Amino acid sequence: MKKLFLLVFVLFISSCSHNINMVSKDNLSPYQGNVVVYFAKNDCTGIENQLPTNYEIIAELDYYNWGKFRNVTVEDIASWFKADAQQIGANAIIIDSCSTVYSGFASRGKNAKARAILIK
């Protein structure tokens, strides 16, 4: 039983990858407001928003989730990116790319890249 639990735990932990690459040298306080989500033209939604013109890139965000035992949605990815952005002091994110990861008969994950930004 312990071996089975350990195997399931290891599969769960290894099923997603998450990276924040800080670009800004400023150490900002966590942002308490609502993080605005923008989409650059990508395969995830087909939506392209008018991006803000005056902003600073705080960090580059990467997320890879196999979607084991569930289907990961664009909304899931956006909420994870928004939580990361708030922690590092960004007030918006631009999702630059997103693709579906096929990881089984019914499981669908996502691979996405975004920029956490500070709109001025």
Contact 94, 38 (CB under 8 A): yes
What domains can be seen in the chain, in order of their start residue?
17-23+33-119 (3.30.110)
Contact 9, 2 (CB under 8 A): no
For residue 43, the 8-state DSSP code is T
| pLDDT digit string, tens, across residues 10-46 | 444 445 688 999 999 988 999 999 999 998 876 666 6
Read off the pTM: 0.79
Q: Is the torsion defined by CA of 30, 74, 94, 62 positive or negative?
A: positive
